[in-house]
Amino acid sequence: MSRRDRDADPDPELFAKLARVGIPGVVTPRRYGGAGLDWIALGLACEELEYVDASCRTALSVHAGLCMTGIYQWGTEEQRQRLLRPLAEGRRQGCFALTEPDAGSDVRALRTSATKEGDLYRIRGQKVWISMGDFADMILLFATVNPEAGAAGITAFALDRELAGEGLRTQPIHDKYGLRASDTAVVYLDDALVPEANRIGDEGDGFKVAMSCLDSGRFCVASGAAGTIRACLDLSVGYARSRIVQGQEIGRLQLVAQMIAGMQRDYDIGRLLWMRAGWLKNQGQRSSRESALAKWVNSERANRAADDALQVHGATGFSEECPVARYLRNSRATMIYEGTREVQVQLAAEYALGYRQDRPVAHPLPAWPDEGEPQVPAERPAP
């Protein structure tokens, strides 16, 4: 990964490599082509992938945490078999297209439009900063069918690259600060076509679809960030035990030991936070608060761990020959995408103050692993 990061060269075969070991469908029930495991298994996969490089985890996050979750949670049984199965089996790669040049944290401001013509929708607009957007076969895309309706007009679509026609064009984004080995793209929609059969949910459900997907995406980011913390801890411990200054290991120096202790503390806290969110998902309960909190804390702590790891390594860490510089650059992205740090802080405050309470969603995820009929979870008490 270091070479691909240095050359800003995303691996077009990365997803196929993940598919060969069954990773893309880890959390999808077997009856839809997945492995039938649970959310803790997905979190572990994200943590281990980001332990190596965040670009690997990003491919899984957008595919399983964002795209597939939306289709599974809000799609019909026919859509699950037709659209979800090839994604879960790793035959097709998915991504998630919500952000626009003027609509990031303010999702209600999106301008991409969907006009119904017979049994087709014609999509016009632009999406930006779409992870895996240049490689994906299927894009879970959000557009408005009624710009005057605000959030009530937003609608979700499974945009198939093969069916979209010449109106779909993607272009990779270069010269990124971090995640250089990850595919990130601009998606241009100039009369791209989507069959009505690929609309996910009803017209106007798109905002709810997007928010439920982001709960799962934030869970993946949080568990992945724990992998960055652990990687920085392991690298720092190894270096501190091998680097000798004035006749002793630098790990014996109090200020170095303090940084390493902080990494250990943050990893233990971070893993508990994402596992709590995963446990709730396994019970079929909503985890908006827990996923947002885990994403906020873990992304900040991952960036701090990478910064401290670079300091522990000294001049060695300042070189691209050492992976900690890559971890530092990559970790910065986690405080921006899938809800900025500031959005997560605001959510945490609203939950603490009682201004926001979780209500059961219209299409709750069933308890996992789910091999039988979907189970509707009991309503969760207000915090």
Picking from 191, 143, 204, 131, the residue whose alpha carbon sits closest to that of residue 165 is 191
Which of the residues 47, 50, 100, 338 is marked catalytic? 338
Q: Could you tell me the CA-to-CA distances from 62 to 97, 256, 266 in Å, in that order?
A: 10, 36, 25
- Reply yes or no on whether 338 is catalytic: yes
Catalytic positions are 338
